Amino acid sequence: MSYNIYHNLVIKVSPEKVFEAVSLPEHLDNWWTLKSSGKPKLGAAYNLNFTDEYDWYCKVSAIEPNSSIHFKMTESDADWNSTTFGFDLEENENGTLVKFSHVNWPRENHHFKHSSFCWAMLLNGLKNYLEKGVVIPFEKRN
């Protein structure tokens, strides 16, 4: 059995802008990571650095430009290592419906529940970044 996190939200910008914000390091660093690297291409490796202790890697496991991107964790902690997270984007009359998923968690433990809460906060930060240009300094992100 595995456990999954799902969050849906509308961001009032185009799918292209959301896709850039969730796939390009220069945007990821403004709402999620301390510093990151990678290219939005199938099989491409990404480095997701949060601190020296949390210097993680993943690869692009599925991609459809401006519509969908999913990342399979390859080097992280025991809870995240089996997981895949991603963003599916649908244009609507209000902007872009973002369907976020983080799937295949091995346990429904504290880390799973905490990560679900953190993703909700980070996705709100993504929304504020894209709609209002708000960049929260990394050390103030939860």
Contacts of 121 by beta carbon, 8 Å cutoff, 6+ apart: 141, 142
pLDDT bin (cut points 50, 70, 90) of residue 35 is: very high
**Buried b vs exposed e over 84-97: b needs ≥16 C-beta within 10 Å?**
bbbbbbeeeeebbb
Q: Domain 3-140: state its class.
A: alpha beta
What would the pLDDT profile of 87-116 be if each residue is shown by its tens digit? 999 999 999 999 999 999 999 999 999 999
> pTM of the prediction?
0.96
What's the pLDDT tens digit per position in 8-18? 999 999 999 99
Q: Rounded to an integer, what distance in angstroms lies between the CA atom of residue 50 and that of residue 53?
A: 8
Tokens of 60: 């692009």
What is the C-alpha separation between 122 and 2, in angstroms, rounded? 23
